[in-house]
Structure 1
Amino acid sequence: MRAERLSPYARLPRAYRDLHVRGSTVDAFGGVHWLLTEHPKPPTPYDAVVVTITDDGSRTTALGPVSARFPRLDSLPDGGFVVADSRSGDDEEQVQVFDALGRPSWTFRVGDGIEHLLTDEAGDLWIGYFDEGVFGDPLSAPGARRWSVTGTPLWEFRPPPGVDHIADCYALNVGRAVTWVYPYTSFPLVEVRGDGPLRARTTGVNGARGVAVHEERVAFLGGYRGDRDLLTLARLTDTSVETTRRAVLTRPDGAPVHRRRRILSRGPRLYVLEEPYVEWFVFDIGVS
């Protein structure tokens, strides 16, 4: 099987390697952010620092106090940040919004079981939930939702005809003009565009953890059992996603990708962050 190689994207500066990575993301504009603490599992609340890498260089933002035990991080267009705990009880406002100076400004609750948290260019929060939240929390029950930065619910997934309710949001891609949802159990690729009706396509791809879309091209990353590094390349039709070929995704040097990794999907790009989570790689179907 042919190999496709990731490309280097961004590295955490060596000056911060003595700190512990609690979360990291690539934002809607391509900037990379790491949430770092002095201790690997600090008691809550705790102080943290965000290291940001963009085309203009690097900067740091001190955040505090942070309450998330299992943090999900993203940035906001005004220079601020959102940090959410992936697990929460009924009375826990687990989302914290920080301004550009790192000061807390809003807290609210979005439901238990956050698997994906991505902000869009407008600053709205798109959240995909895993099964424990979907089946255990009314706020998480839709499986995928969009919230304002102040906690107002703006959209929730309602299955179009022929599509099951989400049991687990395996992949969520938030691009510039469109969001793509790839849910368990039947793994359709659902197109969310503005306030219009959802458009679902069958895929024939099961268990992927990342999906990239560019015009008519699609790439799924992952699968069940021995297919963790499987890259399924496909094209969109009116009703389906048709596989064109399969490849193995490798590191830039051709070595296998570490089993412990995080995958993030944005538009035409699949971003991969390997343990120890200090360097992001990218696979871009818009240029490949």
Structure 2
Amino acid sequence: MQKTVLVPYVHLPRAHHDRHVVASTVDVFGTAHWLLAERLPQPGGDALPFDALVVSVDPSGNVDLTELSAVRARWPRLDRLPDGGFVVAASRTRRCQDANQVQVFDALGREMSSFSVGDAIEHLLADETGHIWVGHFDENPAGIRRWSATGRLAWTSDGAAIPGLFDCYALNVSGTVAWACTYTDFPLVEIRPDRGGRSVKVWTNHVRGARAVAVHGQRVAFYGGYGKERDRLAHAELTETSVEPTDVGLLTLPNGRAAGSRRVVGRGSRIYVQTEPFTAWEVFDLSN
């Protein structure tokens, strides 16, 4: 089976390896961010809230540091907003309407607002306008929603005719457009909120269980799957109504090994992959 090798992208500077990586992501402009803490928040522990340091590294290797005070999320999701601020959200909440679930910080690390988006966050990705896309897993039926940075609901998958939307397996946000692959039917879904009632387009798809998707023109790549297909990289082309597979291989680390435990972020034609100890990001780019 053909192997595609991930390409090294950026890494956390060694000077910060003494802290714990609580969360990490790659933003819509391609800059990577690490949320670091002196110690990891423990289930049932008393380590909340905690002070954190965000280390940001752009593709040229430039490093920025932002200190965040009183982070309240035990299992956080992180992204940077276009104005230089950050959004940190608790992926689980004891109460689905926890007003402190999402914290928005300005570029100086000061908390500016907080609000709730609901329990069971699988994906949290900001777009280039500063809207926050949230994809939920199956313990919350909210599906996919888009929020303003002040907590206003700007788009919802309710009534969007996305078949079998019980769990947002894969979410890709690039520009102001989102792509998703959802359980149970695994359609490929394009969401363009600025199109009003025509905001959603759906293609039928037989690639099951992908955890990340990349899109470039009429070409699509799906990463991940069930069981032995965990490291699968499936290529396909879009027709008017369906996803048509073209070939299947494996996506591996630069050393040729399987990824193992990993984080993935989809941004347009790119799938970013981070593996333990979560200090570096590698990338697959469909446009190449």
Match of 2:136 among 122, 125, 129: 129
How many angstroms apart in 1 are the aligned matches of 2:193 and 2:154? Answer: 11
The alignment's TM-score, normalised by the length of structure 1, stands at 0.94
- For structure 1, the 5+ residue unaligned runs are 135-140
CA contact (8 A) 1:120 1:126 kept: yes
DSSP 3-state at the match of 2:21: strand
CA–CA distance in structure 1, aligned partners of residues 155 and 218 of structure 2: 26
Q: Is the 8 A contact 2:155 2:193 kept in 1?
A: no
Residue 169 of structure 1 corresponds to 168
Of residues 73, 76, 89, the one that matches 1:71 is 76
RMSD of aligned residue pairs (Cα, Å): 1.2
1:1-288 matches, within 5 Å, as: 1-41=1-41, 43-54=47-58, 55=60, 57-88=62-93, 89-93=95-99, 94-134=101-141, 141=142, 143-158=143-158, 160-161=160-161, 163-196=162-195, 197=198, 198-257=200-259, 259-287=260-288
Q: Which amino acid letter does the alignment assign opposite residue 24 of structure 1?
A: S
What's the offset of the Cα at 1:126? Answer: 0.3
Secondary structure class of the residue paired with 1:131: coil
SS at match of 1:132: coil
Shift of 1:195: 3.1
Amino acid at match of 1:166: L
Per mean C-alpha deviation after superposition, the further-off stretch among 97-106 and 34-43 is 34-43
Equivalent residue of 1:133, what SS?
A: coil
In 2, Cα distance between the equivalents of 1:84 and 1:119?
Answer: 12
SS in 2 for 1:44: coil
Q: Give the deviation of 1:165 after TM superposition.
A: 4.4
Q: Distance in 2 between matches of 1:224 and 1:159?
A: 29
Preserved CA contact (<8 Å) 1:171 1:209: yes
Q: Given that residues 54 and 65 in structure 2 are in contact (C-alpha distance below 8 angstroms), is that contact kept between their aligned partners in structure 1?
A: yes
The letter for the 2-side match of 1:75 is: R
The answer on whether the counterparts of 1:158 and 1:165 sit within 8 Å (CA) in structure 2 is no
In 2, the alpha carbon distance for the partners of 1:105 and 1:173 equals 26
Q: TM-score normalised to the size of structure 2?
A: 0.94
Number of residue pairs matched by the alignment: 278
Query: Contact conserved, 2:164 with 2:185, CA < 8 A, in 1?
Result: no
Secondary structure in 1 matching 2:139: helix
CA offset at residue 92 of structure 1? 1.6
Q: Is the 8 A contact 1:19 1:38 kept in 2?
A: yes
Instruction: Give the distance between the partners of 1:260 and 1:41, measured in 2 at CA.
Output: 20
What are the Cα deviations for residues 114-138 of structure 1, in whole angstroms up to 9, with x where unaligned?
000000001100000001122xxxx
Q: Report sequence identity in percent.
A: 52
CA distance in structure 2 between the aligned counterparts of 1:193 and 1:156, rounded to whole angstroms: 12
SS of alignment partner, residue 9 of structure 2: strand
**Equivalent AA in structure 2 for residue 102 of structure 1:** G
Distance in 2 between residues matched to 1:4 and 1:177, nearest whole Å? 29
What is the deviation of 1:225? 1.0
Cα distance in 2, alignment partners of residues 59 and 282 from structure 1: 21
| Maintained 8 Å contact 1:71/1:83 | yes
Match in the other structure for 1:138: none
Deviation at 1:59, TM superposition (A): 1.3
Distance apart, 1:177 and its partner CA: 4.5
Q: Does the Cα contact within 8 Å between 1:160 and 1:200 map onto a contact in 2?
A: no
Q: Please list every run of 5 or more consecutive structure 2 residues that lacks an aligned counterpart in the other structure.
A: none
SS at match of 1:100: coil
Aligned AA (1:128) = G
